[in-house]
Amino acid sequence: MPNKKTHLLVSLLLGLIAGFLLYNDLIYALIFTLLSGLTATLPDQLEKPTHSLHRGFFHSIVFLIVLVIVLSLLVWTPLSGLVFGYITHLLLDFARGKHKPII
Ligand SMILES: [Zn+2]
């Protein structure tokens, strides 16, 4: 499982790219990026990574789908970076396999 530093770096990098693509504005992109970094480690704070199969609802595909819907509704504001950071965490965890609860 990726560690905190990896989640933070990936979230900031993807947040910066997405922020510029979405807003084409430096200030909005930076706000989006910083907010993305704030929630990049939140899932593991909600559900401690004690082992690779520990994940519960806050690491599930159902919760990811809910977040994508929320992101699509909030994308007009850089505050959506909070949701984006959480999503990058889940996608990075999913990319590592082994712990993908459906619910
Ligand atoms: Zn995680």
User: 21-74, pLDDT tens digit by residue?
Assistant: 999 999 999 999 999 999 999 999 998 877 766 678 899 999 999 999 999 999
13 CA to centre of ligand 1 in angstroms: 18
- Ligand 1 midpoint to CA 45 (Å): 8
C-alpha 58 to ligand 1 mean position (Å): 9
Distance 89 CA to ligand 1 centre (A): 6
Q: For residue 24, how far is its CA from the centre of ligand 1 (angstroms)? A: 30
User: Ligand 1 mean position to 75 CA, how many Å?
Assistant: 23
Q: What is the pLDDT of residues 71-95, one digit of tens each?
A: 999 999 999 999 999 999 999 988 8
Kindly indicate the confidence band of residue 16, based on its pLDDT and cuts at 50, 70 and 90: very high
Confidence of residue 2 (pLDDT cuts 50, 70, 90): confident
Q: How far is the CA of 49 from the centre of ligand 1 (A)?
A: 7
Calculate the alpha carbon distances from 33 to 23, 30, 50, 70, 103 in Å: 11, 5, 28, 17, 29
